[in-house]
Amino acid sequence: TVHLFTQAGYTDPEPRPNRIEVIADRQPTIQLLKPAADNTAAADQSLTIALRAADDYGLVAVRLETKVVDENGTEQAVATPQRWDRLSNLSETTLSHSLLLSASLVKPGQSLFIRAVATAGRAVQVFGATLSPQETASAWHRVVSGFAAGRCGQRGCSKRR
């Protein structure tokens, strides 16, 4: 029971009951719609990336992350080629980005991994407790740069064997 008083010390002798229901804050959700989980793409082509993010209290940021893995399994550092920071606490959004698969990004035989990360707007400091914004990441989707340079003709590119 909570009893409220004015600054002068007065209270209602017959207060009405008020019910407060606490609703749990769920993790944001993120889904990488494109590309498919295992995909092959030609070098120097644009790869369309599409994603859907949602949060019950509102999104404040979504970002794309990439990492390149060579044939030996050596991973390069994770990069962030696209970030959406001004989402105004949207409860749900669908976003897209075009990523150029340039030779400086990924070479034939390397795999590019892509994932999306959603950040919720919750940031609360009250009564000594701190609740930081929640983040959720999608699974990594692998895109193989499967075409060697110079192997493209009038019929398109052929897969490297």
Angle at 159 between CA 153 and CA 160, to 5 degrees: 105
Looking at the predicted structure, is the pLDDT value of residue 151 above 60? no
Looking at the predicted structure, is the pLDDT value of residue 159 above 80? no
Q: What does residue 90 show for φ and ψ, rounded to 5 degrees? A: -65, 140
C-alpha to C-alpha distance for 141 and 161, rounded to whole angstroms: 22
Q: What is the pLDDT of residue 146?
A: 55
Looking at the predicted structure, is the pLDDT value of residue 161 above 70? no
110-128: pLDDT as tens digits: 889 999 999 998 778 888 8
Mean pLDDT across the stretch 126-139? 88
4-20: pLDDT as tens digits: 889 999 998 888 888 88
pTM of the model: 0.75
C-alpha to C-alpha distance for 96 and 85, rounded to whole angstroms: 14
Residue with tokens 């369309």: 48
Looking at the predicted structure, is the pLDDT value of residue 130 above 90? no
Q: Please report which confidence band the pLDDT of residue 145 belongs to, taking 50, 70 and 90 as the band edges.
A: low
Q: What is the pLDDT of residue 95?
A: 95
Residue 135: how many other CB atoms lie within 10 Å: 14
22-63: pLDDT as tens digits: 888 889 999 999 988 887 777 778 889 999 999 998 899 999
